[in-house]
Amino acid sequence: MKVSAAAFVGAATEPGRFPPPSRPEIAFAGRSNVGKSSAINRLLGGRKLARTSNTPGRTQQLNFFDVDGRLVFVDLPGYGYARVSHAQRAAWRPLVESYLGTRGVLAGIVLLVDARRGLEDEEHALLDFAAAIERPVALVATKIDKLNRRERDRTVAALRVAPASMPVIPFSAVTGEGVDVVWRTIAAWTEEQRGVPARAPRRRS
């Protein structure tokens, strides 16, 4: 998928206070430092829109990016980083659940998993939440470039715990592996959603 224009459109730091819904949204979720922002940048053709960092837990807000006026990528704050403050950790769940649980335009969730860690309690909780709100999820195994052939086969097999409808996509923001597959998945979700009557108001210009 070729993206010709992408732009930051807003951030949210408090439950319920999100930019007005306009286009279908794709949420990028995952552990802190797993590579959410890097994946977004790579999917957007190497743009450096989402801020990436070696410091885990840097992004504590939801960041919204318009993609060609067709859809919106939402970079969710990462979870599971022990060294953020207690208050920051306590704020994560209401913020993210408020977004996921109320967003009519949410077309699907890209759940990034570190290829070497696999699914842990937090990922299972997110999968349960996504099932409850009836949104599709793709499991994206990031940093796959760091694994050798045998490790990667084992990792991908271990992630196939989920229903067959849930894609498991080996991915690397460094090599670009998996970019096309993620885009195809997103395209399928947004087409599916177009069949549903839009709950969102028209975008104000």
Give the footprint of ligand GTP on this chain (CB under 6 A). Answer: 30, 32-38, 52-54, 56-59, 78, 142-143, 145-146, 172-174
**Residue 51 CB, nearest distance to ligand GTP (Å)?**
7
Specify whether the CB–CB gap between 178 and 138 falls below 8 A: no
Residue 146 partner contact from ligand GTP, Mg ion, none using kind-dependent CB cut-offs of 5 to 8 Å: ligand GTP
**Residue 39 CB, nearest distance to ligand GTP (Å)?**
7
The residue ranges that bind Mg ion (CB under 5 A) are 36-37, 59
Q: What is the identity of the amino acid at 26?
A: I
* DSSP code at position 14: S
**Residue 201 CB, nearest distance to ligand GTP (Å)?**
30
CA distances from 167 to 11, 14, 43, 157 (A): 28, 31, 17, 12
Residue 143 partner contact from ligand GTP, Mg ion, none using kind-dependent CB cut-offs of 5 to 8 Å: ligand GTP
Specify whether the CB–CB gap between 3 and 68 falls below 8 A: yes
State which H helix or E strand residue 112 sits in: strand 106-114
Nearer to Mg ion, 37 or 190 (CB): 37
Residue 190 partner contact from ligand GTP, Mg ion, none using kind-dependent CB cut-offs of 5 to 8 Å: none
Specify whether the CB–CB gap between 108 and 136 falls below 8 A: yes
Residue 103 partner contact from ligand GTP, Mg ion, none using kind-dependent CB cut-offs of 5 to 8 Å: none
- 169: closest CA among 161, 180, 104? 180
**Residue 37 CB, nearest distance to Mg ion (Å)?**
3
The SS3 assignment for 63 reads strand
